[in-house]
């Protein structure tokens, strides 16, 4: 089966700024694929090239076995798109907006079905300007769903939403994927990528720096836990010493805090406390968490996803 | 979800839905309704009641052609404050009605003339006095020229009659250009255009929906203003209603196309606003809405005559006041068609979708 999306040697510059540099990806049919990275990593440029909205400087993009320069119209019929920060017409109602978008497609879903699917039944006659942020985002999703797409591109669909709205949106993306359709999503929320995506590509400075299933990427850290702590000023600790503590696999500091990758919390933490007591260092902060894609990103780049 | 549908009736045509959206967005904006329908009526009422006429620096005087025409005109031309032209009978009447001349001098004998003018217009009274003066001076002060006044006060020669067709054209320009231009730039700014381009929407349908939505609205715009003029001031509509509708449609679509062209590139409301002011301001001044464009010097005339507002003001005025048919308005209609096709075609090429 041919891949739903394949990209080779993609490159795009804006003047002196390189947005995408030598990017390769392949997304299988029926897969939910995530592009994860900080702001400015090139995620939006990449996805908009795939959507045929931006022309790349170099590289090859094949979507659903077709190319933009030859089959634009055909591709538009089969793609669903949710752009970052689109404001739909405020004066139109939910139903009118969907009827408009539906009229563009040859293959389409009944408006009522789509309204039910995104749980906007009660807002059917409400004007777009009166919807909440989460409802607007669900409507944006619905505008793509009325075209009954085979491949759905979502660019940061949950940015700025409250946790409940975000979970609602995730459920909708799930049910779309359950019908065997392909989803490509960009996000800088690692929990979103872990929750939704079969595979993720971590993108930084326009390149893919890690690719795989979220679990596998996290497991590649070798750590079961991450121990975060901070000590009172004027005490200097050394990464080498901390790394050699029992149960600790690696140590690094950032913003005045230390992060230890630990195989087992119950051996690493007592050893750490022992060590700090010997150095006369007073703890000001201590917590542990299980590693996330964020830790993978930090381990690869030394920066946080949200630092940009 | 249900089965995907494949049939498509006219009720599901994208052009219909795009056009409906234009209407809905318009009628759900109360301010837009005020500026489109109420404002021009208030303007016409205010100007028609208060602002009687604007005395020009040069009084334009017509002389009825005939055996004595050339002599009389020569005598009048001695006064540099008079702009004198010869007319035959029907052309002279038409020029008088449409305000191209303030007074028509009809030579009767070597020493008597008739002045035809509307004494309610200050401009006309001044022109009559100047003409009388010039003729007396030509004969030497001693010999009086016997001048008889023939007051013309038929509907169609007053300032409100002159003004209303101009306001009509100006209003169609305003709503066409601003209404279309702002809607486009607003959608571009909100990235709705980019979202639409990501669908299989035909781009020409999007642009055409603006022109189609103009059609329904301008029936109301024209109806309200012409109806007001007829009922309150008795402004005549001497041409056929069919021709008025066609002229209105043509002007409405032309200015809609001009709006699309002006909004083809700007990314911000401020940018669009600047473009539109730059394009519209010369027309407000030069195209003869409030006073005849014949007041401007000859070297400007080719430019003024090529402007879309001049063509539509002249066409509406000739239609309403002189009863001109579409065939008689050939040059104006052709010019308006050229502007329509040109601006729509250029807009489609230049349009910035993202």
Same domain, B285 and B209: yes
pLDDT over threshold 60, residue B341: yes
Same domain, A138 and A274: no
Same domain, A19 and A168: yes
pTM: 0.76
- Count up the domains in chain B and report the number: 2
Same domain, A129 and A103: yes
Q: Would residue A48 count as lying in a domain?
A: yes
Q: Would residue A299 count as lying in a domain?
A: no
Residue B149 CA to residue B115 CA, distance in Å, equals: 5
Average pLDDT over residues B242-255: 91
pLDDT tens, position by position, A37-72? 888 888 899 999 999 999 999 989 999 989 998 898
A102 contacts on B by Cβ (under 8 Å): 12
Q: What are residue B82's DSSP bridge partners?
A: B59
Residue B51 — very low, low, confident or very high, per pLDDT cuts 50/70/90? Answer: low
Cβ contact B47:B163 at 8 Å = yes
Residue B353 — very low, low, confident or very high, per pLDDT cuts 50/70/90? Answer: confident
Same domain, A109 and A246: no
Domain that holds residue B302: 10-50+158-350
The angle at the Cα of B126, spanning B121 to B130, to the nearest 5 degrees, equals 150
Same domain, B162 and B146: no
Residues of B with CB under 8 A from a CB of A: 1-2, 4-6, 8, 12-14, 16-18, 20-21, 24-25, 28-29, 187, 190-192, 194-195, 197-201, 354
The upper half-sphere exposure of residue B221, i.e. CA atoms within 13 Å in the direction of its Cβ, equals 29
Residue B3 — very low, low, confident or very high, per pLDDT cuts 50/70/90? Answer: very low
Same domain, B177 and B101: no
Q: Would residue B281 count as lying in a domain?
A: yes
Instruction: Taking the CA atoms of A290, A293, A299 and A303 in sequence, report the sign of the dihedral they define.
Output: negative
Q: Would residue B97 count as lying in a domain?
A: yes
Lowest-confidence region among A69-73, B210-214, B243-247, B294-298: B294-298
Q: Would residue A239 count as lying in a domain?
A: yes
Nearest to A83 among B14, B21, B191 (CB): B191
Same domain, B102 and B166: no
pLDDT of residue B337: 94
Q: Would residue A305 count as lying in a domain?
A: no
A282: domain CATH number is 3.30.70.980
| Joined tokens for residue B170 | 């100006």
Same domain, A272 and A151: no
Same domain, A214 and A227: no
Same domain, B343 and B268: yes
pLDDT of residue B1: 42
Same domain, A196 and A284: no
A113 contacts on B by Cβ (under 8 Å): 1-2
Same domain, A208 and A102: yes
Instruction: Answer left, alpha or beta for residue A185, where phi above 0 means left and psi between -120 and 50 means alpha.
Output: beta
Q: What are residue A93's DSSP bridge partners?
A: A127
Same domain, B228 and B344: yes
Residue A137 CA to residue A131 CA, distance in Å, equals: 9
Q: Would residue B5 count as lying in a domain?
A: no
End of a domain among B151, B179, B211?
Answer: B151
HEC-encoded secondary structure of chain B: CCCCECCCCHHHCHHHHHHHHHHHHHHCCHHHHHHHHHHHHHHHHHHHHHCCCCCCCCEEEEEECCCCHHHHHHHHHCCCCEEEEEECHHHHHHHHHCCCCCEEEEEEECCEEEEEECCCCHHHHHHHHHHHHHHHHHHCCCCCCEEEEEECCCCCCCHHHHHHHHHHHHHHHHHHHHHHHHHHHHHHHCCHHHHHHCCCCCHHHHHHHHHHHHHHHHHHHHHHHHHHHHHHHCCCCCCCHHHHHHHHHHHHHHHHHHHHHHCCCCCCHHHHHHHHHHHHHHHHHHCCCCCCHHHCCHHHHHHHHHCHHHHHHHHHHHHHHHCCCCCCCHHHHHHHHHHHHHHHHHHHHHCCCC
A117 contacts on B by Cβ (under 8 Å): 1
Same domain, B76 and B140: yes
Cβ contact B213:B19 at 8 Å = yes
Domain that holds residue A134: 5-218
B133: domain CATH number is 3.40.1710.10
Q: Would residue B208 count as lying in a domain?
A: yes
End of a domain among B113, B135, B151?
Answer: B151
Q: Would residue A303 count as lying in a domain?
A: no
A130: domain CATH number is 3.40.50.300
- Count up the domains in chain A and report the number: 2
Question: In whole angstroms, how far apart are CA B317 and each of B156, B297, B338?
Answer: 10, 21, 20
Residue A165 CA to residue A171 CA, distance in Å, equals: 10
Residue B204 CA to residue B344 CA, distance in Å, equals: 10
Cβ contact B329:B247 at 8 Å = yes
Same domain, B188 and B111: no
Q: Would residue A306 count as lying in a domain?
A: no
Same domain, A139 and A171: yes
Q: State whether ipTM is beyond 0.85.
A: no
Q: Would residue A199 count as lying in a domain?
A: yes
Q: Does A108 touch chain B (CB under 8 A)?
A: yes
Q: Would residue B1 count as lying in a domain?
A: no
Contact yes or no for A113 and B2 at CB 8 A: yes
Q: Tell which of B1, B2, B192 to mutate to test the A interface (max A CBs under 10 Å).
A: B1
Average pLDDT over residues B7-16: 78
Same domain, A170 and A226: no
pLDDT tens, position by position, B259-294? 999 999 888 888 888 888 888 888 888 888 888 888
| Joined tokens for residue B110 | 């070597």
| Joined tokens for residue B91 | 């052309």
| Joined tokens for residue B86 | 């010869």
């Amino acid at each position: 089966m041919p891949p739903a999306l394949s990209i080779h040697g993609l490159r795009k510059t804006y003047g002196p700024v390189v947005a995408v540099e030598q990017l390769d990806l392949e997304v299988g049919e029926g897969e939910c694929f995530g592009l994860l990275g900080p702001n400015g990593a090139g995620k939006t440029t990449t996805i908009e090239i795939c959507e045929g909205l931006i022309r790349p400087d170099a590289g090859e993009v094949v979507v659903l076995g077709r190319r933009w320069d030859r089959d634009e119209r055909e591709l538009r019929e089969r793609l669903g798109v949710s752009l970052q920060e689109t404001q739909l017409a405020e004066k139109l109602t939910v139903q009118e907006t969907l009827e408009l978008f539906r009229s563009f497609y040859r293959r389409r879903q009944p408006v009522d079905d789509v309204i039910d699917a995104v749980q906007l039944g009660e807002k059917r006659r409400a004007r777009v300007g009166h919807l909440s942020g989460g409802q607007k985002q669900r409507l944006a999703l619905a505008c793509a769903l009325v075209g009954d797409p085979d491949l759905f591109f979502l660019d940061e669909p949950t940015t700025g939403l409250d946790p409940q709205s975000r979970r609602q949106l995730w459920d909708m993306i799930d049910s779309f994927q359950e019908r065997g359709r392909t989803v490509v999503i960009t996000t800088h929320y690692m929990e979103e990528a872990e929750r939704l995506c079969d595979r993720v590509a971590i993108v930084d400075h326009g390149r893919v720096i890690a690719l795989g299933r979220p679990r596998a990427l996290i497991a590649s850290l070798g750590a079961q836990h991450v121990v975060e702590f901070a000590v009172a000023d004027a005490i200097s600790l050394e990464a080498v010493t901390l790394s050699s503590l029992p149960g600790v696999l690696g140590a690094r500091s950032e913003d005045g805090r230390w992060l230890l990758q630990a195989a087992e919390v119950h051996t690493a933490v007592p050893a750490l406390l022992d060590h700090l007591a010997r150095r006369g260092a007073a703890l000001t902060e201590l917590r542990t968490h299980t590693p996330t894609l964020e830790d993978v990103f930090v381990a690869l780049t030394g920066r946080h996803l949200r630092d940009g | 979800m249900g089965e995907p549908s494949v049939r498509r009736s006219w009720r599901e045509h994208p052009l219909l839905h795009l056009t409906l959206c234009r209407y809905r967005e318009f009628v759900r904006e109360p301010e837009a309704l005020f500026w489109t329908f109420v404002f021009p009526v208030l303007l016409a009422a205010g100007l028609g009641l208060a602002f009687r006429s604007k005395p020009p620096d040069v009084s334009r005087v017509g002389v009825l052609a005939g055996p004595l025409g050339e002599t009389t005109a020569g005598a009048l031309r001695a006064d540099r404050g008079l702009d004198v032209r010869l007319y035959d009978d029907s052309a002279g009447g038409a020029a008088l009605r449409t305000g191209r001349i303030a007074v028509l001098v009809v030579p009767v004998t070597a020493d008597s003339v008739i002045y035809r003018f509307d004494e309610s217009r200050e401009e006309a009274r001044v022109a009559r006095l100047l003409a009388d003066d010039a003729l007396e001076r030509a004969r030497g002060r001693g010999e009086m020229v016997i001048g008889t006044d023939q007051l013309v006060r038929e509907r169609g020669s007053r300032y409100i009659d002159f003004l209303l067709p101009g306001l009509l054209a100006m209003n169609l320009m305003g709503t066409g250009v601003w209404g279309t231009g702002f809607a486009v730039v607003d959608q571009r700014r909100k990235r709705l255009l980019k979202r639409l381009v990501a669908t299989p929407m035909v781009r020409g349908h999007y642009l055409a929906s603006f022109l189609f939505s103009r059609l329904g609205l301008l029936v109301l715009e024209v109806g309200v203003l012409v109806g007001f003029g007829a009922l309150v001031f008795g402004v005549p509509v001497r041409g056929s209603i069919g021709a008025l509708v066609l002229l209105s449609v043509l002007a409405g679509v032309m200015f809609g196309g001009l709006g699309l062209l002006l909004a083809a590139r700007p990314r911000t409301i401020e940018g669009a606003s600047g473009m539109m002011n730059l394009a519209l301001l010369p027309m407000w001044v030069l195209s003869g809405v409030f006073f005849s464009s014949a007041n401007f010097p000859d070297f400007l005339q080719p430019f003024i005559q090529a402007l879309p507002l001049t063509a539509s003001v002249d066409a509406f005025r000739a239609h309403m006041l002189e009863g001109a048919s579409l065939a008689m308005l050939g040059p104006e209609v052709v010019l308006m068609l050229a502007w329509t096709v040109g601006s729509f075609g250029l807009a489609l090429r230049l349009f910035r979708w993202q």
